[in-house]
Amino acid sequence: MNSLNVLVTPPERQATMQLYDGRRLAWYEWGAVDALPVLFCTGAGMSGWLGFGTSYLPDLGLKLIAIDRPGLGSSDPHPNKTLSSWVDDTREFIQFNNLHNVLAVGFSQGAPFAFALAAQNLVQAIAIVSGQDELAHPRLRPLLHPDVEGMIAAVQKDAVGFERHFSQIVTPEVLWQLIIGMSGERDRLLYESDTFSKAYQRALQEGFAQGAQGYARDLVNSLSIWTVKLENITITVDLWYGALDTSTVHSPDFGATLALRLPNVSHTVDSEEGGSILWTRAWDILAKLKSHPS
């Protein structure tokens, strides 16, 4: 399952709903309509268009659902998006779609959003893959790259000003170059391959369709002290990291501190993988996630 010959499968379904406050929430789906649902919390600035492991869904009996976070893709912005407001929106989504025994995966910047769902027991188990850590946590600050430390300090000093400034300078092209620039050789093999590169950049273009504000707000939420207490999460959390991941905004110790903070955790660090482990070991990630008792 470690082949880089990763299939990029366009979504099988796209849908929207109206939330109680009138905002539109949009999402993409792969897999049988009545299969076990896996909510996919996508990476930084991405719409839900690019899934993972989609060719394995029929054999695993799973359905992948990638929601456009508010302000990204086709989902209307939330006037004050927080991890808590994301939980409220997702609760409405689950009720609207009559979903049961829901699982979730958080990739990269999607990690805090998946953790937020776990903390409120909206899901049965989660997998955090190449996840951004709570970088503002005191244990991690000494491990951070100076650029990341600088961003966290700027957010703590003036979150509103940081968000406004960032939303004025970042574009999908800038973010793509940042991702490639932070990626090691193992990840660039996949990310720069023709089919995957086009798919990833499409997800970023869609993510920025309403401008950069949605991404900038996600960035502030993820770089701040999280409102989620990881120590209180009781459901199973699978941590997946690749030791060849060179991204400075993922966990600086490949999830070691996260594993210590979570009561019910499995922790995998693959010595031969990088941040793209979400796609290169998709079968293992999904099969393990499904194996946890509901």
- Encoded tokens for 17: 């709903």
Of residues 234, 229, 248, 202, the one with CA closest to residue 108: 248
Q: What is the pLDDT of residue 1?
A: 40
| Number of structural domains in the chain | 1
Domain enclosing residue 169, as ranges: 13-291
User: In the block, which residue shows the tokens 């004050």?
Assistant: 80
Beta sheet of 36-41, edge-to-edge order: 13-18, 24-30, 62-67, 36-41, 103-107, 125-129, 236-242, 265-270
Q: What is the pLDDT of residue 128?
A: 98
Asked if the structure places residue 5 within a domain, the reply is: no
Angle between helices 146-157 and 159-169 (to 10 degrees): 120
Burial class (CB in 10 A: 0-12, 13-18, 19+), 48: buried
* Pairing outcome for strands 24-30 and 103-107: unpaired
Asked if the structure places residue 100 within a domain, the reply is: yes
153 neighbors 162 (Cβ within 8 angstroms): no
CATH of the domain at 178: 3.40.50.1820
Asked if the structure places residue 3 within a domain, the reply is: no
136 neighbors 225 (Cβ within 8 angstroms): yes
User: Tens-digit pLDDT profile for the chain (294 aa)?
Assistant: 444 445 789 999 999 999 999 999 999 999 999 999 999 999 999 999 999 999 999 999 999 999 999 999 999 999 999 999 999 999 999 999 999 999 999 999 999 999 999 999 999 999 999 999 999 999 999 999 999 999 999 999 999 999 999 999 999 999 999 999 999 999 999 999 999 999 999 999 999 999 999 999 999 999 999 999 999 999 999 999 999 999 999 999 999 999 999 999 999 999 999 999 999 999 999 999 999 977
Instruction: Give the global pTM.
Output: 0.97
Q: In this predicted model, what pLDDT tens digit does every residue of 90-117 receive, in sequence order?
A: 999 999 999 999 999 999 999 999 999 9
| Beta carbons within 10 angstroms of residue 41's beta carbon | 29
User: In the block, which residue shows the tokens 């060719």?
Assistant: 55
Asked if the structure places residue 8 within a domain, the reply is: no
Asked if the structure places residue 6 within a domain, the reply is: no
Of residues 80, 77, 79, the one with CA closest to residue 69: 77
- Burial code (b: 16+ CB inside 10 Å, e: under 16) for 138-150 equals eebeeebeeebbe
Asked if the structure places residue 160 within a domain, the reply is: yes
Query: CA–CA separation, 116 vs 84, rounded Å?
Result: 7
Q: In this predicted model, what pLDDT tens digit does every residue of 175-191 receive, in sequence order?
A: 999 999 999 999 999 99
Asked if the structure places residue 1 within a domain, the reply is: no
- Encoded tokens for 199: 């798919």
Asked if the structure places residue 198 within a domain, the reply is: yes
- Encoded tokens for 28: 């993409």
51 neighbors 66 (Cβ within 8 angstroms): yes
